[in-house]
Amino acid sequence: EIVLTQSPGTLSLSPGERATLSCRASQSVSSSYLAWYQQKPGQAPRLLIYGASSRATGIPDRFSGSGSGTDFTLTISRLEPEDFAVYYCQQYALFGQGTKLEIK
């Protein structure tokens, strides 16, 4: 059974900084089926990235995804105040445990 492990658990950064979030799979997965979601308190998750690197409709270009095999990365180039949230990676029915991005 594949496990998706996200790191770090919590990332403390300031607006304007660059954020790098990691998602590691316990065995190689197809990059075509790796997605990232953002969830803010009290809200449903929102699709950000699919196919490891394609932005969903309406997602700003400061969000980018990369990776292949077992290692995938979500990068936010310059943090805006509204970007502080929890981020999940997903592959089919599996979710990572999430990374909380908090304001430093």
Residues forming the site for another protein (CB under 8 A): 32-33, 35, 37, 39, 44-47, 50-51, 54, 56, 88, 90-98
- Alpha-carbon gap, residue 60 to 93, rounded angstroms: 26
Do residues 36 and 48 lie in contact, with contact meaning Cβ atoms separated by under 8 Å? Answer: yes
Shortest spacing between CB 35 and another protein, in angstroms: 5
Shortest spacing between CB 45 and another protein, in angstroms: 6
Nearer to another protein, 37 or 84 (CB): 37
Nearer to another protein, 78 or 92 (CB): 92
Nearer to another protein, 17 or 54 (CB): 54
Do residues 19 and 6 lie in contact, with contact meaning Cβ atoms separated by under 8 Å? Answer: no
- Alpha-carbon gap, residue 41 to 43, rounded angstroms: 5
Give the pairing of strands 99-103 and 10-13.
Answer: parallel
Shortest spacing between CB 18 and another protein, in angstroms: 25
